[in-house]
Amino acid sequence: MRHRLGLRAVLMDLMAGVEIKGDEAMIQALADFSKRNASHVKGILNLTIPLSESALWILGQYLSQLGLSTESRRPLEDGQRVRYYRLNTDDVVFIRNVLDYRQRQREDRERKRQDEQERNAAYAARMQAQYGINAPSTPPINEDGSNNRGGMDTDAELSDSWWDRVKYYARLAIERVKDGVESVKELLSALTSDERCGVMLEFEDARPDKFAQLVTDAPHWTEWIA
């Protein structure tokens, strides 16, 4: 609705520091469209547009809804005072900070998503190359029914949680080596298939000596995590 009103074009100018008097064509067009579609503006944006109000008043309502306000000056032109309006400087600074923050958040989420994809791809390739195991490409089902514990398509925070879980169970598996193969196997049996793959990969990275001992004692260990 704001786009159809032409508000974006007005905001682009105002954010760039342009001053207005209220008689500009795009301001008048915004006010005329608002009055013709007052019921839709009310229903969608929850703003009441009286037919008797000025274009500047109507613009002010839209700006207020976005957390913006205006300030004015009255220079002398041809012997008369003319009032010019511009966005409140403090509002502009705040809005720019918000926009910059949101952009950084988007870029950070995208970077985490790409890092997660690369990490999962490397993980799957390594399991296949070393052990001939196709690591699951989709995350397992959680106890609450959601499919978000790990894999290629998870949210970055959930994926981090999944890797923390894998590292925790890898430490437990390392500790159980001294109790024998069956003890490690019992631990893995309670996990999902991709967690078992992750645990064994983390196990090998963290303690290659104990991993070698486990593989020696259980040469068919890859069958446990299938």
Mean pLDDT of the chain, nearest integer: 81
User: Do 56 and 100 fall into the same domain?
Assistant: no
Name the strand (E) or helix (H) holding 31.
helix 25-36
Backbone dihedral region for residue 96 (phi beyond 0: left; psi -120 to 50: alpha; all else: beta): alpha
Summarize pLDDT for 4-24 with one digit per residue, the tens.
Answer: 899 999 999 998 899 999 999
Comparing 179 with 154, the larger pLDDT belongs to 179
114 plus 209 within the same structural domain:
yes
Rounded CA gap, 166 and 90, in Å? 48
Q: Are residues 41 and 146 in the same domain?
A: no
The reply to whether 25 and 137 lie within a common domain is no
76-77 vs 80-81, strand pairing mode:
antiparallel
Query: Distance between CA atoms of 162 and 66, rounded to whole angstroms?
Result: 39
pTM reported for the whole predicted model = 0.48
* Domain final position from 52, 87, 122: 87
Task: Answer whether residue 144 shows pLDDT above 50.
Answer: no
Q: How many domains does the chain fold into?
A: 2
Whole domain around residue 122: which residue ranges?
96-223
In 3D space, the residue among 224, 210, 223, 216 whose CA is nearest the CA of residue 175 turns out to be 210
CA atoms of 144 and 13, how far apart (whole Å): 49
